[in-house]
Amino acid sequence: MTSPSYDRGDAEPALLTCTIGAQLEMTADRFGDRTALVDVPTGRRWTYEELLADSRAFAAGLLRNGIRPGDRVGVWAPNTPEWVIVQFGTALAGVILVNLNPSYRQRELEYALNQSGIVAVFTMTAFKTSEYAAMVEAARPEAPELRDVVTFGSEAWEGYLAAPTEDEVGALADLGDELTADDPINIQYTSGTTGFPKGATLTHANILNNGYLVGELLDYTEKDAICIPVPFYHCFGMVMGNLAAITHGAAMVIPGPAFVPQDALAAVAAEQCTSLYGVPTMFIAELALAEFDDYDLSSLRTGIMAGSPCPEEVMRKVVDRMGMREVSICYGMTETSPVSTQTRTDDALELRVGTVGRVGPHLEVKVVDPIDGTEVPRGEVGEFCTRGYSVMKGYWNNAEKTAEAIDADGWMHTGDLATMDENGYVRITGRIKDMVIRGGENIYPREIEEFLYTHPDILDAQVIGVPDEKYGEELMAWIRLRDGVEGFTADDLRAFAEGKIARHKIPRYVHVVSEFPMTVSGKIRKVQMREESVNLLGLGE
């Protein structure tokens, strides 16, 4: 008889019980003269001793300016060293850091400022098309608790970084003794597909342990240097990157404020990075560079590909061409700090390209029937759920949505469809809301996307469902073509797919694009793709 889809992670290594600030202090004690942080664009560098000093100064500055433990402070900027100092300074002061998405427009900003009750925002004057400082000032009428708006590099910012007095150092030390690992320390707004986003509230224990255990499974030590082109405002950057680094004494390397494939590879080469992070589209862009072979990537051994499903063909190239033989796939969500499952460095290649790994230490996972909640047999599709130290405290000031996401037994319901094999390895097959029901047949777009990647002319593919009068829904493929390929049609796709996949799984419509609509963290916005497709195909009625 097939066993149920349930698995429990290892009990070792032990969970960390300290706060993020205390962990930074311990790491600085052990590795004070080792490189902690490098900003490649400006050439600025910090040792762990220097990073701790700046973070302590900022923490003292928060207290000096009337900001107290439990208050909410926003950081609104792309990847900069100042972002990291704010991250660790707020942790030392017990202040809750609210990550503001760098791509927010005015209405989204005002909502986040007001909903979380932010008292101060630390930001850049501007970046690309976003006038950050001006937008925050314009939001003041909608954010009654907002007192300070501080731009990096300004006189006010330097004031926050002023060397603390002896009394301030003593006050910080006393405060550190009062803070606990279960205190909330971070609010991250999840991308809402309908309505406003929800603020996932995470504790020191949530995110510090997740960063630590992800790093443990990558065999990180103080000799590692992690290239982090993924955004700090998201768990991928600030947890899997920064917190994995400081729990092991590794270096955080910032290749640039926003992702540029050339900058990422140049940073790896310049800093001899051993690890590189990215969502699949980032790795696709790096591998597609005409000058790819000019970069010395020989220092790479590992890294993480996560954030959205990882195409098998891309994963194989990352291993073969980039030398990342110990690269890991991680899967999770903001509400779970984020990682729930991870491939191991010694996993066979087919597991590291075909699954999202198995449960992490100190966690439980299961796959359940979305209707009745019972565990499905191994190999069958159901909803992925997880429980353990990583599950958020809840959505900030939103008990109703919290109760919808976390059941009475503490299980986080992810909304993702998955299967679990006999050895506990998990495959994500799609989102419950992405599943297409065509003529009564359940179709999982992920399966069709994997097939489309095998077409020699297709660089990237996303499959969605669109309304259909006869079948309820029909399949549509959005595709990106390799350079030089033109005139690709639905007939071309049909000819390629005929006899290789079931006829009802062959997309009826094809839309060729140069890029997909995406969130700033690299996730494909399928909701937007569906809306645009309905208009494109004239299916509005």
Per-residue tokens: 6: 């349930």
* Inter-residue contact 3 to 424 (CB < 8 Å): no
Given this model, what pLDDT does residue 109 score?
94
The per-residue pLDDT for 30 is 98
pLDDT above 60: residue 497: yes
Average pLDDT in the 496-522 region? 88
Q: Tokens for 130?
A: 């976003």
The predicted-structure confidence for 213-254, as pLDDT tens digits, reads as follows: 999 999 999 999 999 999 999 999 999 999 999 999 999 999
Once rounded to an integer, what is the mean pLDDT over residues 157-167? 98
Asked if 353 and 315 count as a contact pair (C-beta separation under 8 A), the reply is yes
pLDDT value at residue 431: 80
Task: Record the tokens describing residue 473, joined without a space.
Answer: 């829904």
Specify the residue for token string 């390629």: 496
Q: Could you report the per-residue pLDDT of 67-124, keeping only the tens digit for each?
A: 999 999 999 999 999 999 999 999 999 999 999 999 888 988 999 999 999 999 999 9
Q: Cα–Cα distance between 247 and 212 in angstroms, integer?
A: 6
CA angle at 510 for the pair 509 and 515, rounded to the nearest 5°? 140
CA dist., res. 296 & res. 299, Å (int): 8
Tokens matching residue 207: 């995110």
Query: Chain-centre distance of CA 232, in angstroms?
Result: 9
State the chain's maximal CA–CA distance in angstroms.
76
Confidence of residue 195 (pLDDT cuts 50, 70, 90): low
Instruction: Supply the DSSP string of 252-296, one letter for each residue.
Output: EEE--SS--HHHHHHHHHHHT-SEEEE-HHHHHHHHT-TTGGGS-
Non-local (6+) Cβ contacts of 149 within 8 A are 120, 121, 123, 133, 136, 137
> Is residue 419 within 8 Å of residue 381, measured between CB atoms?
yes
Judge whether residue 160 has pLDDT over 80: yes
Banded pLDDT at 520 (limits 50, 70, 90): low
H/E stretch holding 532 reads: helix 526-536
Give yes or no for residue 130 having a pLDDT over 70.
yes
The whole model's pTM is what? 0.86
51-72 tens-digit pLDDT: 999 999 999 999 999 999 999 9
Q: What is the pLDDT of residue 194?
A: 45
Pairing label, strands 382-388, 412-420 = antiparallel
Between 110-114, 346-350, 455-459, the lowest mean confidence (pLDDT) is in 346-350
Structure tokens belonging to residue 311: 């195409």
DSSP-assigned letters across all residues of 107-129: HHHHHHHHHHTEEEEEE-S-BTT
Cα separation, 20 vs 204, in Å, equals 6
With a pLDDT cut of 90, the percent of the chain lying above it is 83
Is the per-residue pLDDT at 533 higher than 80?
Answer: yes
In the chain, DSSP finds a helix count (H) and a strand count (E) of 18, 26
Give the C-alpha separation, 296 to 323, whole Å. 10
Region 165-176: what's the mean pLDDT? 97
Give the mean pLDDT of 493-517: 93
Q: How far is CA 289 from CA 259, 273, 461, in A?
A: 14, 19, 19
Residues, the chain, total? 541
Confidence of residue 193 (pLDDT cuts 50, 70, 90): very low
Q: pLDDT at residue 191 above 70?
A: no
Average pLDDT over residues 310-320: 85
Residues 6+ apart with CB under 8 A from 220: 226, 244, 245, 248, 250, 275
Q: Of residues 308 and 47, which shows the higher confidence score?
A: 47
Lowest pLDDT segment from 32-41, 327-336, 427-436, 517-526: 517-526
Extract the tokens encoding 53: 């000093």
User: d(Cα 6, Cα 377) in Å, to the nearest integer?
Assistant: 9
Q: In the predicted model, is pLDDT for residue 211 greater than 90?
A: yes
pLDDT at 165 over 80: yes
Please give the structure tokens belonging to residue 170: 């003593």
User: Strands across the sheet with 225-227, in order?
Assistant: 44-47, 35-39, 251-254, 225-227, 275-278, 302-305, 328-332, 339-342, 358-359
How far apart CA 348 and CA 255 sit, in angstroms, is 31
Torsion of CA 113, 114, 119, 120, to 10 degrees: 20
Tokens for 462?
């996303």
**Mean pLDDT over all residues of the chain?**
94
The side-by-side arrangement of strands in the sheet containing 509-512 is: 458-468, 472-481, 509-512
Predicted pLDDT of residue 371: 83
| Token pair 């503490």: residue | 410
Compute the average pLDDT of residues 194-212: 91
Query: pLDDT value at position 443?
Result: 83
Whole-angstrom distance, CA of residue 413 vs CA of residue 122: 33
**In the Cβ-directed half-sphere of 63, how many Cα atoms lie within 13 Å?**
23
Which residues fall within 8 angstroms of residue 295, CB to CB, at 6 or more apart?
265, 266, 268, 269
Q: 332 has which bridge partners?
A: 339
Give the Cα separation of 341 and 361 in Å (integer).
9
Residue 70 CB neighbours (<10 A): 11
Q: What is the pLDDT of residues 246-297, one digit of tens each?
A: 999 999 999 999 999 999 999 999 999 999 999 888 999 999 999 999 999 9
